[in-house]
Amino acid sequence: MRIEIWADVVCGWAHIGKRRLEKALASWEGEPVEVVWRPYQIDPSAPVTAVPMESLLRDPMVDEALRSCSPGLSPEENRARVAAVAAEEGLGPQWGSGWRAGTLEAHRLIALAYEKGGSGLQDQVVDRILRAHFVEVRDISDLTVLTEIATETGLAQEAGYTPAPEQETFRADAVRQTLPGAELVRELLLTGKAKGVRTSPTIVVGDLALEGAQSPATIREFLEDASRHTPRRLPAEVTRLRHAESLLDQRDPLGALTLLRPLTEEHGADRGVRMLAARAYFASAQLNRARTTLASLVAEAPDDSYARHLLGRTLQRQGRHEEAATHLTLAAVMTPDYATG
């Protein structure tokens, strides 16, 4: 059974949730499990160069934003509450983030750890990053810090680096070159969004999800339910297509196109793929691409009223009203609802 943890490494509840999941699995007697960490960003606008949290918390605008995340509590009160829970879980009496740090590079390192050493190595890297951020109060957006973590956990060696004797750690730029592309992490972030992940941490098994850092007992109950639930396995291409459609439904056409890219390259003749791409082009105002794709779909199937209707709307937006009217009229004749749509 694969357990996916969608979480951000600057999320205190993710650190607590990791410990609680470990407690839940300590006495697990069910089927073998694999725990895989997936990226989520609670602060996607965090700066590339980290900012000290202390000065940040004095910013009135930041204070207002943080209050929305913890109704009824000031940011300081919420941080104290989370720190107290962390201490109860044995994560250390001196606990708390000191930096507002971007996490893209950390997520890339975590993805590399899974690629090179599987879930075991990935777990070590995640644990070390969380400890660096919350216990050692270090800047985990700093590649030097990530390089040290890669070395300490053995990930650097797994990645194929052999340092010179005088080097204590591998050069940060060497680690950067080895990390999976940022595009991979961004695609995983979009996949999480398509699956409906909306908070950190979220535990996902198949098509079941458990939000938040729940108690070990609650996690055990969730895993027991998940082990009895056998979701229907779909081909990877179908799953990707559904995720892209989910993003389009969430008004993220550019995200949908990102997930569609491999499908358009490998299954470019598939009508379903082309239609979804056309919808995404239209929604993202890429009207020339939308028109070209829809025109080919209409030429292949003149009785496809939806393709005609969308082609007509695309032409309308391009100011080509006479051409648009022809397609809109035919679409309305075939599907009367389009006469008022």
Q: State the Cα torsion 171-172-174-179 to the nearest 10°.
A: 150
Residues 6+ apart with CB under 8 A from 224: 30
Domains and CATH numbers, the chain: 2-228 (3.40.30.10), 236-339 (1.25.40.10)
Partner residues linked to 211 by β-bridges: 202
Which pLDDT score, from 0 to 100, does residue 167 have?
Answer: 52
- Which structure tokens are listed for 303? 């009785």
pLDDT band of residue 173 (cuts 50, 70, 90) is low
- For the chain, the average pLDDT equals 88
- CA gap 176, 174 in Å, rounded: 5
Peptide bond connecting 253 to the previous residue in cis, omega within 30 degrees of 0:
no
- Whether the predicted pLDDT of 31 surpasses 70: yes
Model confidence pLDDT, tens digit, residues 111-134: 999 999 999 999 999 999 999 999
* Pure H helices in 57-209: 60-69, 75-88, 104-134, 143-153, 155-158, 172-178, 182-195
- Three-state DSSP class for residue 100: strand
**Which DSSP state fits 310?**
H
Q: What is the pTM of this model?
A: 0.86
Of 23-32, 162-171, 193-202, 209-218, the one with minimum mean pLDDT is 162-171
Q: What are phi and psi of 165, to 5 degrees?
A: -55, -35
- Whether the predicted pLDDT of 6 surpasses 90: yes
- Whether the predicted pLDDT of 333 surpasses 90: yes
DSSP string computed for 62-80 = HHHHHHHHSTTS-HHHHHH
Model confidence pLDDT, tens digit, residues 180-190: 567 889 999 99
Which pLDDT score, from 0 to 100, does residue 165 have?
Answer: 47
Model confidence pLDDT, tens digit, residues 259-284: 999 999 999 899 999 999 999 999 99
* Better pLDDT: 231 or 199: 199
